[in-house]
Structure 1
Amino acid sequence: MQGSITVLIIVELTFTTTAKARKLYPVDEGPRDVSFKVFRNKLIEAVKEHNTPFILTTLHPKIHLSFGGHFGVKDFLETWKPYSPDSALWNELSTILTLGGTFRTSGGKRVFWAPYTFSAFPDDVDAYEYASIVGANVKVRSQPSTTARIVTILSYDIVKATFPSSDNKRKDDTPGWVKVVLPDGTNGYVANRYVRSPIDHRLGFEKIRGKWLITAFIGGD
């Protein structure tokens, strides 16, 4: 009996240590395919230049835009309004394209999914409650302020995160900051540019008849 208890304690300690050290390091399989690498580089340049005509040529005619039935180039234009000076499209695309991604094959289709915070996120972690720290030596502060006390430093950790919501404002919702809970239960705040939810917007790319196209640009689950 004592031996069994000892084993259980060892297992529990091992699990605790692993949980505290849960990480998601950046991964980018894009360069493995030369044709995709060339395509993505052109896409990145187009995003920097806000080159809407080029972006439209990269979209699949039936691009998947939501889980609610939105698809196609027309819906893309209505959703993202790329010709508008305050369109959120460019910042979102830039963020996604700088966060790598991985290839997946399903149903005979080979798809490159970006960013890695979606495609490589662990299946055994709740994607609705947890998010990835997308940087090294990221400061966690006691309050949502750059002058607040530093609680700890994180590098590519997976943490429980509460993102500000315009639909359901909470007292701790502060623009520019994400509330996180560390493995030991400590609360803190991280600048939102360093935190990414696995169910945030992502891009799916497929090579169809020799041409790479964006077949999905969706968020949520």
Structure 2
Amino acid sequence: MRIRALLAASCLGLMLAFPVLSHAVTLLPVDEAAKQPDFFTFRAQLQVAVAKRDKAAVLAVVSKNIQNGFGDDNGINDFKKNWAIDKPNSPLWETLGTVLALGGGFNQDGSFNAPYISSHWPVKGDLDAFENIAIIGNKVNVRATPKPDGKILQTLSYDIVALNSADHGNDQWVAIKLPNGKKGYVARSFTRSAVDYRAFFEKVGGRWQMTALLAGD
């Protein structure tokens, strides 16, 4: 299956990367969906279905062999079970809605990978996806303490920064280490990991399907 080959190549790139970010790197938002009008329309329709929590419409585009992770719990039945899709508070709606809203890019085989943090994460250099994180906003404050009124050290705009391995932050704040060595905190809502949830879409039998929705590696 093509999606497995793409994931394997992606994971290899992550393992070959070095862990420490010693210089500023920018990862600007990218959305290549409009390059293929039929996919652009498909995604727009899927976004509407997700916003409406239309279970039938979403399941209609989920591949029967969808990859849900890197174990054996794959396929549409495990997809339904893992996401508790029959429950009104299923985490699927927020997770997939966020993934679709963050753009993405086409792979060489024509499949689409969302969000852009995953599709365009640099695979060369010192950008280990487990040791670094992307800032997904413009002029995002870096604070000295994990508080809304903490002293502002500087701002970041769509940068990739190192995680502070000695401080895991909390539910609202991510602890980071800047290239100059300073440590600070960024609101979690303005960050995204390259190994957070991402989706893959392929054209199968003439129609687009979601062939993977997973996190980690």
TM-score w.r.t. length of structure 1: 0.84
For residue 60 of structure 1, report the CA deviation from its aligned partner.
0.4
What residue in structure 2 maps to residue 159 of structure 1?
161
Which one of the candidate residues 190, 195, 201 is aligned to 1:194? 190
- Per the alignment, residue 29 of structure 1 pairs with 32
Query: For residues 190-217 of structure 1, what are the alpha-carbon distances to aligned partners after superposition, in whole Å with 9 as ceiling and x for unaligned?
Result: 1111111111110000011111000011
What stretches of structure 2 of length at least 5 have no aligned partner? 1-20
Residue by residue over 1:104-125, the C-alpha shift from the partner in whole angstroms, topping out at 9 and shown as x without a partner, is 02xxx42100001011000121
What is the distance in 2 between the residues matched to 1:173 and 1:120?
26
- Say whether 1:94 aligns with 2:90: no
| Residue aligning to 1:114 | 114
**Counterpart-to-counterpart distance in 1, 2:208 and 2:81:** 23
- Superposed structure 1 runs of 4+ greater than 6 Å apart: none
Alignment match of 1:146 (pick from 142, 145, 148): 148
Pair 1:80-2:83 in alignment? yes
Deviations 1:41-93 (A, max 9, x none): 00111111111111100100000010012211111111111222322111111
1:185 aligns with 2:181: yes
The structure with the larger Rg is 1
Q: Deviations over 1:122-164 (max 9, x none)?
A: 012111101110110111111111111111100000001259x
Count of aligned pairs: 195
Give the letter for the 1:188 counterpart.
Answer: G
Structure 1 unaligned regions, length at least 5: 1-17, 164-169
Aligned to 2:204: 208
DSSP-derived class of the 2:45 partner = helix
- Percent identical residues: 38
Cα deviation for residue 173 of structure 1 reads 3.4
In the aligned structure 2, how far is the partner of 1:63 from the partner of 1:162?
Answer: 34
Amino acid at match of 1:34: P
Cα gap change, 1:74 to 1:190, in 2 (>3 Å): same
Contact 2:24 2:161 in 1 (8 A): no
Q: Distance in 1 between matches of 2:168 and 2:68?
A: 30
Provide the rounded CA distance (Å) in 1 between the counterparts of 2:182 and 2:115. 28
- The CA RMSD measured in Å over matched residues stands at 1.7
Deviation of the 1:21 alpha carbon:
3.1
- Taking the aligned partners of 2:164 and 2:47, their CA distance within structure 1 comes to 30
